[in-house]
Amino acid sequence: MKLRATEYEIFGRTALITLNRPNRGNAWTGRLDAELRWCLQKADQAEEVRVIVLTGAGERFCVGGDSQALQSHVEKGHYDNGLSGALDTAGSETIAKPGYGFDERFDAPFASHFGLSKPLIAAINGAAAGIGLALACFTDLRFASAGAKLTTAHGKLGLPAEYGLSWILPRLVGVTRAMDILLTSRVVLAEEALEIGLINQVHPAEDLLAATLDYAETLASSVAAGSLRATRRQVYLDLHGDVGQSVAESVSLLEEMMRGDEYNQGVRALLNKEAPDF
């Protein structure tokens, strides 16, 4: 696919995907959606990639649905942020569905991130609103630039909570805090988001991407790829199961993975009191 609204780069063992519509605040369109899916699938299938980082070009992460597109929705009488399945201007190729097929409960936009085989980290370099906030929330970890503005935005457009925010936000920050953010559609600064657990780290804008890539490379070099894949999928499956299922599944995974090369390598490194080279 020819990329016009995104960029795809490799840094070490990290794939960096950049939303690349800075003149529009990286606002969401069908084209951007199709390209992002393609990039995620490419990164998830690439053997050399261990971790995926997602960020925005310019000073904003993603300001939500493109305002021009939102006006057309008013005229058409229906709301569509590009996730309906239309390829828009991206071409005649079939839209990629990265993460689909792992568990049918996750076979939906953004929820499908749970089915990816590699950690997905958001480097929120500025404003994240509406669908942009949903995109960030459905990553595994979120780092943000100081002062970045986060908002659900939907309430001031007369809309419901978008794309699973009503499911994911209570699980990230608790029901009470999520209700405040969802009902008011107020702006939450990165510093408050860090305090309530919505964000993992806050960095000066000029340091954000480097810090995120450094974290990603640390994951890639110090943790076995099989462990990264299994652990993140355990977490998302356990959110939909019960404690007994979680324990049983972890025992099954232990028995399977202890027969693998990564476990042998990890034990050898432990006995030799050295860092494993995964």
- Residue 2 predicted with pLDDT over 80: yes
Residue 152 near residue 130, CB atoms below 8 Å: yes
Strand order, beta sheet including 6-11: 6-11, 14-19, 51-56, 120-124, 141-145, 201-203
Strand order, beta sheet including 149-151: 128-129, 149-151, 188-189
**From the CB of residue 68, how many other CB atoms can be counted at a distance below 10 Å?**
10
CATH superfamily of the 6-221 domain: 2-enoyl-CoA Hydratase; Chain A, domain 1 (3.90.226.10)
Distance CA 60, CA 167 (A): 25
**C-alpha dist (Å) from residue 249 to 113, 228, 234, 239:** 20, 16, 8, 13
Q: Is 130 left (phi over 0), alpha (psi -120 to 50) or beta?
A: left
CB proximity list for 44: less than 8 A, separation 6 or greater? 52, 98, 99, 116, 117, 118
Distance CA 132, CA 248 (A): 36
pLDDT at position 232 is 94
Distance CA 25, CA 19 (A): 9
Query: Domains of the chain: which residue ranges?
Result: 6-221, 224-271
Distance CA 224, CA 215 (A): 15
Residue 169 near residue 145, CB atoms below 8 Å: no
Write the pLDDT tens digit of every residue in 175-224: 999 999 999 999 999 999 999 999 999 999 999 999 999 999 999 999 99
CB proximity list for 225: less than 8 A, separation 6 or greater? 50, 118, 262, 278
Question: Does this model's pTM top 0.75?
Answer: yes
Q: Which residues pair with residue 122 across a beta bridge?
A: 54, 142
- Residue 149 predicted with pLDDT over 50: yes
- Residue 84 predicted with pLDDT over 90: no
Q: Which residues pair with residue 16 across a beta bridge?
A: 9, 53
SS3 assignment, position 18: strand
Write the pLDDT tens digit of every residue in 220-264: 999 999 989 999 999 999 998 776 776 777 777 767 777 777 767
Q: Token pair of 235, please?
A: 């977490």
Write the pLDDT tens digit of every residue in 104-120: 999 999 999 999 999 99
Residue 15 near residue 41, CB atoms below 8 Å: no
**φ/ψ of residue 21, rounded to 5:** -130, 60
The whole-angstrom distance between residue 97's C-alpha and the CA centroid of its chain comes to: 14
